[in-house]
Amino acid sequence: MSIAPVAITELIHVQLESLVASMGEPEYRAKQLRNWVYKSLVFSFEEMTDLPLAFRQRLERETRLHSLGIVQEAAGQDGTLKALFSLADGKTVESALMYYDRKSAGRRCTVCVSTQAGCAIGCPFCATGQQGFERNLTPGEIIDQVLYFAHRLQGKRNEGKNNKEKAKRITNIVFMGMGEPLANYDALWQAIEMLNSPEGFGLGARNMVISTAGLVPQIKRLSQEKLQVGLAVSLHASDNVLRSRLVPINRKYPLEQLIPACQDYCRLTGRRLSFEYILFSGINDSITQAHALAGLIQGLNCHVNLIPANTTDDLSFRPPYRRVILAFENELKQCHINVTLRESRGEDISAGCGQLRSRRTFASPEQKCYTF
């Protein structure tokens, strides 16, 4: 089996400079190349017009610009874009671009990024969890999901230069797609550093959020990092019996370990974390459970995102009635817990993690990259 040439987005700054030097080019060519990839968002070496033709041709022969291929894209009525990508080995991953327009938060274009092909956590309500774990994504495969949607938005801006509604750019990145981000820590962090770097994509660290099912050692490691990236913990239950059913990693890192790790994270970083709580009808949506949740996290510098379950073919995990959701939210507020009821996005295009992938035959490894 042949090994695919290295993708430019896999390389940190010093590696890119070394590659350029090995091709006999001056050091400043590395900066030019980075600008084309991360600022101008081009998708061919041919477009890099300030690079010598011979250099571009050699890059074309010996490297790849990106590491993903687009298999399918779906657009929802609310503007959500869902993309299914193929990797060089034929495996597939999903990403989504979601638009928000709130008075409290302003206009946002958020990319939901995958960090693994499949997932080993095995949450029974998650389509990805039912597909099993295949492999970790590389830094370039993580970065390229963001660059794909940035490129799409750039196209929209060019189509409507006089239309403010179309003048959108990526404002936020959430690592909440397929996989457990903290189980792929090193690749994730390299991607974050490049997406944050002024010489890379240049997005502020505070505009990025890592979601975890509760890997305690990695939460402790994250609390030592200098970049102020946000943390969201998928909680979904306030007792070990139910949480172990919904989030099986709880059997290894129960609440007695998870909550202190969250407390330490807040103390060491000075940042507020989020708890994600998906509401399932008749499972974790009672007033008693809301009160227990409030007691579990009382005193923590945190915010709860309530998320009604996605409607799927699995009737075991249905969303509650609206009145039940609102009663749960109100109970948390009565207990002085900061809480937001999150909007559902892209339900008409199966935007939940893994749903599009599970309905699609895996792509061929020979598929060309970014043929859009």
Q: Mean pLDDT throughout 156-182?
A: 75
Residues with Cβ < 8 Å from 352, sequence gap 6 or more? 126, 127, 310, 312
Taking the C-alpha atoms of residue 322 and residue 122, their distance in angstroms, rounded to an integer, is 28
Domain end position, chosen among 62, 84, 107:
62
Residue 361 has pLDDT above 50, yes or no: no
In a domain, 369, yes or no: no
Q: Rounded to a whole number, what is the distance in angstroms from the first to the last CA of the chain?
A: 27
In a domain, 366, yes or no: no
Q: 47 with 100, same domain?
A: no
Q: Are 99 and 164 in contact (CB under 8 A)?
A: no
Q: How many Cβ atoms sit within 10 Å of the Cβ of residue 322?
A: 9
- Report the range of poorest mean pLDDT among 36-40, 98-102, 140-144, 193-197: 98-102
Residue 362 has pLDDT above 60, yes or no: no
Q: 135 with 249, same domain?
A: yes
Residue 366 has pLDDT above 50, yes or no: no
Domain end position, chosen among 23, 47, 62:
62
pLDDT at 125: 92
Give me the count of residues in the chain: 372
**Total structural domains in the chain?**
2
Residue 137: Cβ-neighbour burial (10 angstroms; 0-12, 13-18, 19+): buried
Q: 104 with 180, same domain?
A: yes
For 51-79, what is each residue's pLDDT tens digit?
999 999 999 999 999 999 999 999 988 88
Domain end position, chosen among 47, 62, 77:
62
Q: Mean pLDDT throughout 173-197?
A: 98
Q: 23 with 136, same domain?
A: no
Q: 44 with 97, same domain?
A: no
The domain spanning residue 218 has which CATH number?
A: 3.20.20.70
Q: Are 134 and 144 in contact (CB under 8 A)?
A: no
In a domain, 368, yes or no: no
The domain spanning residue 42 has which CATH number?
A: 1.10.150.530
Q: How many Cβ atoms sit within 10 Å of the Cβ of residue 242?
A: 16
Residue 365 has pLDDT above 60, yes or no: no
Q: 32 with 109, same domain?
A: no
Pick 371 or 323 by higher pLDDT. 323
pTM of the predicted protein model: 0.90
Residue 165 has pLDDT above 70, yes or no: no
Q: 331 with 201, same domain?
A: yes
For 282-294, what is each residue's pLDDT tens digit?
999 999 999 999 9
pLDDT at 104: 52
SS3 107: strand
In a domain, 1, yes or no: no
In a domain, 302, yes or no: yes
Q: 187 with 270, same domain?
A: yes
Residues with Cβ < 8 Å from 367, sequence gap 6 or more? 69, 71, 86
Characterize the bridge pairing of strands 106-112 and 116-118. unpaired
The residues annotated as belonging to the active site are 94, 353
Q: Is the dihedral of CA 274, 280, 285, 289 positive or negative?
A: negative
Pick 105 or 7 by higher pLDDT. 7
Residue 360 has pLDDT above 60, yes or no: no
In a domain, 364, yes or no: no
Q: 31 with 93, same domain?
A: no
pLDDT at 105: 55
CA 117 vs CA 185, 192, 298: distances in Å: 14, 18, 36
Q: 143 with 51, same domain?
A: no
In a domain, 365, yes or no: no
Residue 28 has pLDDT above 50, yes or no: yes
Q: 36 with 84, same domain?
A: no
In a domain, 73, yes or no: yes
* Average pLDDT of the chain, as a whole number: 89
pLDDT at 168: 77
Q: 57 with 144, same domain?
A: no
Residue 228: domain span: 69-358
